[in-house]
Structure 1
Amino acid sequence: MPTGVALRDVREQLFDAAERVLLRDGPSALTSRAVTTEAACAKGVLHRHFADFDAFLAELVLDRIARIEDQADTLRDSAGTGTVGGNLAGALTEVFGPVAVAIVALVTSRDGLRTRLRQAQVAGIPILAEATAMIASYLVAERELGRIDADAAIDTLAPTLIGAGHLLFADRSGDPPEADAVRKVVDTVVGRS
């Protein structure tokens, strides 16, 4: 491995390398050696920036959670525009990109990572919990605008949409679902377009 070469934004380079390994080879292949090899840097680089590999993975997950929080702002701001079904289908397609689906599998397969995330006050299954909150926030905004029923059970609708969306996108080896399939699930759950 190269040494003495200055790396720019080491954290992002390592995160990007971890994502590539995760997508290509799955959660079981994600090791510190695989990440640093993919990032073309010495193994010590990862350990200079993170206490251990589970700390690195926890930071990766937290970084990806922050991206969902940004997406939540965009989705909430879309309330009152387009169609509810179209907005939700787009949000599900975006949130369940290959990296997010792979991260859910990673979290469920690594006890040490789940422990770190609990220590960081991350509740539920990361990515899925934040995506549920994102959908719920959007549905509240749409309910306030009168675009969904005033008595809509948002605490039921949001996790149902996330669960159904995750099942649609969870096959790592297959193609993502067609837009019509996502929209059909949304319309079935929400009952509106």
Structure 2
Amino acid sequence: MPTGVALRDVREQLFDAADRILLTAGPHALTSRAVTTEAGCAKGVLHRHFADFDAFLADYVLDRVQRMDREAARLTEMAGAGTVVANVADALTALFGSVAVAIVALVTFRDELRARLRETWPAGVPVLTEGAIMLASYLEDERARGRIAADADPDTLGAILIGTGHLLFADRTGTPPAPDAVLDMVRKIVPS
């Protein structure tokens, strides 16, 4: 007699369940039992695929960072088109409108997760660090096109935009900032 439902992509199913829990209940609710219940599988499934729950969480965070590659590619394609301010504001809204804000809280919430991430990620919170790198790369392209000030420092601007954007979007349970607020913030930071 079968003991459960066949799982096609166990990792992705578990990661998607973690997304839903983080977005609806926050990092304090993210437990191995909550993830497997949300994913519709037995608790042992998670432990067959990951050494322990913190290993699962570290892989989950790094997987979500890798998903940012699509947004980075889209932003790179926007270089030279539209306005720099609108492109950056859209990228920040997409980033912080995703599970990223909840992941930042998760990484802050769990000491063991931070320790595991340090094994493969040198510094910072992976989602924020990768976002800053993505914005810096885009701003470098725009500086080369003459669309932002020639003396602008894309790396510094990327870090400032991520930090300030995180502050704008940090209250994941409240109303997200209005598009005009995001545009205004970017306009004040990015030198034209």
* TM-score range normalised by the length of the shorter chain: over 0.9
Over the aligned positions, Cα root-mean-square deviation in angstroms equals: 1.3
Does residue 121 of structure 1 match 2:121? yes
The answer (yes or no) to whether the contact 1:107–1:125 under 8 Å persists in 2 is yes
Using the size of structure 2 for normalisation, the TM-score is 0.95
- Matched pairs, number: 191
Does residue 75 of structure 1 match 2:75? yes
Deviations 1:5-44 (A, max 9, x none): 2111111110011111111111111100010011111000
Does residue 46 of structure 1 match 2:49? no
Runs of at least 4 residues off by over 6 Å = none
Distance 1:184 1:3 in 2: 55
Identity %: 66
SS at 1:44 equivalent: helix
Distance 1:122 1:19 in 2: 24
SS at 2:40 equivalent: coil
Does residue 176 of structure 1 match 2:176? yes
Distance 1:41 1:131 in 2: 33
The answer (yes or no) to whether the contact 2:152–2:191 under 8 Å persists in 1 is no
Pick which of 168-177 and 82-91 moved more: 168-177
Using the size of structure 1 for normalisation, the TM-score is 0.95
Deviations 1:142-192 (A, max 9, x none): 000111111012232111111111011110111211110000000011144
**In the alignment, which residue of structure 1 is the partner of 2:10?**
10
Alignment of 1:107-186 (within 5 A): 107-186=107-186
**In the alignment, which residue of structure 1 is the partner of 2:190?**
190
Instruction: Please list every run of 5 or more consecutive structure 1 residues that lacks an aligned counterpart in the other structure.
Output: none
Deviation at 1:3, TM superposition (A): 2.8
Task: Give the AA of the match of 2:25.
Answer: D
Distance 1:184 1:89 in 2: 9
Task: Give the AA of the match of 2:39.
Answer: A
Instruction: Please list every run of 5 or more consecutive structure 2 residues that lacks an aligned counterpart in the other structure.
Output: none
Deviation at 1:76, TM superposition (A): 1.4
Alignment of 1:50-61 (within 5 A): 50-61=50-61
The answer (yes or no) to whether the contact 1:3–1:42 under 8 Å persists in 2 is no
Distance 1:174 1:98 in 2: 14
**In the alignment, which residue of structure 2 is the partner of 1:33?**
33
The answer (yes or no) to whether the contact 1:98–1:172 under 8 Å persists in 2 is no
